[in-house]
Chains A and B, each alone.
Chain A
Amino acid sequence: MTETPNPPTDDQTIDEVLADEPQNGPSISEDGERASALDPRRANMLAARRRPTVVVLAGAVGSGKTSIYAALYERLGKGPFAGWMFAGSQTIPGLEQRCHWWRIESERNVPRMEHTRSESLPWLHIRIRDVERKLSAKDLLMGDFDGEVFQDVLHGRAKAEDLKYLRRADHVGVVIDGAKVADPTGRANERQQTQYLLDGLLAPGALASPKALSLIISKMDLVEDLKASERSDVEVWLEDLNRFANARTGLSVPLMRLAVRSESSRFPLGHGLETFLEVLSLRPALKIGQEAEVYQSVTSIGRFSA
């Protein structure tokens, strides 16, 4: 059975959220339907009304980027979690479509997500609200971009600074494919690719600030299924990679461990997304500015110091 998000019991329902948009506005497509995803123009119009938190997950094809977005939607649809509840979306068909792949594939016991194509509209939208209703609703605008774009960056075929949405992103999560990390033969290559991608993303002008960066390891359940000695190797591997990211940014880069759609009962739907939401809600906006220079007074009274 298809699960849909719970109707919000919040003071702002989905219908009210949509009513908040002008007639024939951007959340509704030309034929009056909700959009599957937002093109840049529609995303801009949403941002012109309320400041959204822009999230971009960067990683190779099949690393699990789209699954994370879909799991977030599906998990919120099951009811409040991690202190947050679903409060609407302008792209329900697109989110449903992404969950649909899971649902039909899981019936075959082979969970798989359709590869996001470069021609797909990139922006997915979810509005969330804190369960206690003390805060105003937050709009998450999630960039679901083709993994090939990021493969081009890590191979040096494209420059991250040319991907303008990266500079706009409040959060850029570098997604590491847990399946490749779990495989000892693929681990070294995954590390090299992640390092190349980090280097590409940290090129001058690509991100608004290295503070936007976080590391996300997907499919963590596959790592947890390894023998103790191998798990220990993976832990060392992850620590090394985290150290590399910290050294490159000069910051403590968060590392999130997700197993959003595991076959194992040990990992419920959306495992790890609590941390993901916490990171987003702790810093919803990355405001990078250019403050005015401190004025140096030329008068003696202006230079008075107590």
Chain B
Amino acid sequence: MTDLIFSDRMREAAVVLPPTELGQYRSVVDDLAAAKFDAEFLLGLVRLAYGRDAAGDFRGAFAEQLTRRSLSLDGRAKQLMAALATETLIERFSRPTTRRTQKALAPDSIAAMAVVVLADQNEPPIHPDLASFALRWTHALSDYLRSTGTLKPPPQLPPLLSKLQEDSETTPEGATTTEPDSDELVAELAPYVGELSDWLRRSSSAGRVRALEEGQSISWWLLSSRSSAGDPAEEVVAASAELLSLCSFLPGPPAWNELLARRLGSAVAASVDLQKVAALSERQVPDSVSDFCLLLNGLSNYPEATAPAKSVATWLYHERQLAQLCESKDGER
């Protein structure tokens, strides 16, 4: 991230910051982005980034960072807190998803999914870049979890073993053969077994098998889904629930829009009553994300409205994922 992009985003909470102050705010964000936080803390940052009230000692966390740099956080600097929270989240979502365990990534995945859900609800964050970075994080992580890699062919038999195999196939029964030296055989066999074991481990790793099985299950689901003739609201609820149930990893496959659209068939462009979808999909939601999950919470205090089936299915699918991510905590299904 360049200083210019950072200052352009900070303009949401400043007029003209002196370069030194800008640098200090930047280092506050860098430190917060690199720190280890749990999901509750990051969800609090999401709330701040959307101008909502957030429980938790965020002011304390920011104030500590700012005081260390001789900056002060005005008692009512809500906009500044929101801008710093947004920057912190963007910085976290810009990091690579590789080289960390799913458990370590889980808090960021939950925060990113909360942002994606709010984007589905057309709620604007303090800066629009946040939604695109959250979406990119979700896509990249989803892809990384499903990456089966390129499997090389199994290792070639070493020459001695290869010759033994050839001899056993070509030598007539009862004929005498020259036995290879056992030391030479062991010397050749040891690395071969190591390579073979490594290849077997890669080809049949639990993650790889689960990803392949997931892909197969989703393919059959799409092939066997009936042409939608039923009520669009029911189709929307069924499609989002079915796709989620087939996911081996969270977040679900990155092409969720396309998968749901295919499943919805001719109902994809139908106008769907949000209240009806909410009534059909209402369920218990973890407290930590209940304010994000409007549909799962029955859309109480929400005006009556309709929306295209594809958008509602995506929205509901994301809410369900957010709830599941929170319930699983470590990001595992």
Contacts and interface: CB of A to CB of B under 8 A. Distances in A.
Given A165-B16, A301-B255, A22 B74 contact: yes
B213 to A, nearest CB: 12
B210 interface: no
A48 B147 contact: no
A20 B77 CA distance: 11
Interface in B171-220: 211, 214-215, 218
Nearest to A290: B5
Given A289-B129, A292-B129, A48 B143 contact: no
B143 A302 contact: yes
Nearest to A22: B75
A75 B46 CA distance: 41
Contact of B14 (A47, A205, A291): A47
Interface string A233-254: 0000000000000000000000
Interface stretch (B103-111, B153-161, B256-264): B256-264
Interface stretch (A1-9, A38-46, A58-66, A220-228): A38-46
A165 B74 CA distance: 22
Nearest to A170: B11
Given A208-B8, A298-B143, A292 B16 contact: no
Contacts of B127: 287, 289
A292 B261 CA distance: 24
Interface stretch (B130-138, B295-303, B314-322): B130-138
A295 B143 contact: yes
Interface residues of A, number: 44
Q: Which of B11, B74, B211 has the most chain A CB within a 10 Å cutoff?
A: B11
A48 B79 contact: yes
Nearest to B12: A51
Given A21-B76, A22-B76, A54-B15, A301 B128 contact: no
A291 B78 contact: no
B94 interface: yes
A299 B148 contact: yes
A304 B255 contact: yes
Interface string A125-146: 0000000000000000100000
B17 interface: yes
Contacts of A295: 135-136, 139-140, 143, 254
Nearest to B268: A306
Interface string A280-306: 000001011111111101111111111
A295 B138 CA distance: 10
Q: Which of A46, A285, A295 has the most chain B CB within a 10 Å cutoff?
A: A295
A47 B9 contact: no
B253 interface: yes
Interface in A161-201: 164-165, 167-168
Nearest to A54: B15
A272 interface: no
Contacts of B148: 299
Contacts of B214: 301
A300 B218 CA distance: 12
Contact of B8 (A22, A285, A289, A291): A289
B92 interface: no
A108 interface: no
B324 interface: no
Nearest to B130: A289
A208 B7 CA distance: 11
B88 interface: no
Contact of A48 (B7, B77, B140): B77
Contact of B129 (A45, A164, A290): A290
Given A48-B79, A49-B78, A299-B147, A306 B15 contact: no
A48 B14 contact: yes
22 contacts: A22-B76, A25-B74, A47-B13, A47-B14, A48-B14, A123-B15, A167-B8, A168-B15, A205-B4, A208-B11, A289-B127, A290-B5, A291-B128, A291-B132, A297-B139, A297-B255, A299-B143, A301-B214, A304-B253, A304-B255, A304-B262, A306-B258
Interface of B: 1, 4-5, 7-9, 11-18, 74-80, 93-94, 126-129, 132-133, 135-136, 139-140, 142-143, 146-148, 211, 214-215, 218, 253-255, 258-259, 261-262
Interface of A: 20-22, 25, 40, 43-52, 54, 123, 141, 164-165, 167-168, 205, 208, 285, 287-295, 297-306
Given A167-B7, A304-B262, 15 more contacts: A22-B74, A22-B75, A49-B78, A54-B15, A141-B15, A165-B15, A165-B16, A168-B14, A168-B16, A287-B127, A291-B133, A295-B254, A297-B139, A299-B143, A300-B215
Ordered nearest first, which 9 A-B pairs have the shortest CB separation?
A48-B80, A295-B139, A289-B129, A292-B136, A291-B132, A48-B77, A302-B254, A306-B262, A43-B15
